[in-house]
Amino acid sequence: MSDPTGTFVWYELMTSDPAAALAFYGSVVGWTTSGMPMPGKPDETYTMLHAGDRPVAGLMALPEDVASQGGRPGWIGYVVVEDVDRAAEKLAAAGGTVHRQPADIPGVGRFAVVADPAGAVFCPFRGAPEMSEGPAPAPMGTPGHVGWHELMGGEVDDSLAFYGGLLGWTKEHDMDMGPMGAYRLFAGPDGQMIGGMMRRPSEVPQSFWLYYFNVPAMDAAIEKVKAGGGQVINGPMEVPGGSTIIQALDPQGAMFALVAPPAQGSGAQ
């Protein structure tokens, strides 16, 4: 089935130490791996990260030119658009920034690297025709898949207006976070919940997207994060619905998050 416009379909980690990152996420999230030649660069390998038999993300070395300009290890998400070139033009006209002009990935699709007006980076993407059919989305909460997408950016009204105009996202409802303002839940054009967005606190140096990977049990995952050289920077905390989350850094400094279902017998509804 084709993924609808406005859907996150891929996640990619650029890291300073691919081998160490593979070992870390394999332990914490449970991913297995496979390698494929980089399109147009047969001597370089792109690592696919699998949840069961499904590829869900990719991993590659942080390019030297990116590192030399101050780029740091981090995750980036790919979002389906109807036309990558038109999306890049529309984004720039709405105050966003095109960091990498639209380009083809042979046999995969077309993408660009962009930032919203507050500076959060993501990739508009359109799959090649031969990639248009795929399996149905995994059930919500499936271990190894991304369970939530969180934007820490500008004012939520401005963020939703931008992404709504570009990707068709709509407001679900707001949660009052006191002095931090509203936490706005949003859905795609198909009505499916995608994630939440909030205003970036002044102490956070830049806006960004944060991706929450599903794990079956949080206590065990936290132990693996620490044993693997990662750092829990917030949590664990229970969120509405009873799930537990943490935000963390991997050993190379890339930020990620985990979400686990309510523990059996916890009484959460």
How many residues does the structure list for the chain? 269
More confident residue, 266 or 116: 116
Packed helices 18-28 and 218-227: angle between N→C axes, nearest 10 degrees: 160
Stretch 6-33: mean pLDDT: 96
Question: Quick one: pLDDT band at residue 3, thresholds 50, 70, 90?
Answer: confident
CATH of the domain at 22: 3.10.180.10
Question: Which of 5-19, 34-48, 145-159 is predicted least confidently?
Answer: 34-48
Query: Across the strands, what pairs with 32?
Result: 50
The residue whose two tokens read 């147009």 is 40
Return d(Cα 195, Cα 193) in angstroms, integer: 6
Query: The tokens of 219 are what?
Result: 């206590």
Question: Which of 4-13, 58-67, 158-167, 202-211 is predicted least confidently?
Answer: 58-67
Question: Which of 46-55, 105-114, 125-134 is predicted least confidently?
Answer: 125-134
Question: Quick one: pLDDT band at residue 268, thresholds 50, 70, 90?
Answer: very low
Return d(Cα 85, Cα 125) in angstroms, integer: 10
Stretch 199-213: mean pLDDT: 92
The residue whose two tokens read 């593979």 is 22
End-to-end C-alpha distance for the chain, whole angstroms: 33
Structural domain harbouring 203: 1-269
Stretch 12-34: mean pLDDT: 96
Return d(Cα 215, Cα 113) in angstroms, integer: 29
Return d(Cα 60, Cα 94) in angstroms, integer: 31
pTM, entire model? 0.93
The pLDDT, as a whole number, for residue 269 is 36
> Structurally, how many domains does the chain consist of?
1
pLDDT at 17 over 90: yes
Stretch 203-224: mean pLDDT: 96
Q: How many CB atoms lie within 10 A of CB 101?
A: 11
3-class DSSP string for the chain: CCCCCCCEEEEEEEECCHHHHHHHHHHHCCCEEEEEEECCEEEEEEEEEEECCEEEEEEEECCHHHHHCCCCCEEEEEEECCCHHHHHHHHHHCCCEEEEEEEEECCCEEEEEEECCCCCEEEEEEECHHHCCCCCCCCCCCCCCEEEEEEEECCHHHHHHHHHHHHCCEEEEEEECHHHCEEEEEECCCCCEEEEEEECCCCCCCCEEEEEEECCCHHHHHHHHHHCCCEEEEEEEECCCCCEEEEEECCCCCEEEEEECCCCCCCCC
For residue 86, report the phi and psi dihedrals to the nearest 5 degrees.
-65, -40
pLDDT at 212 over 60: yes
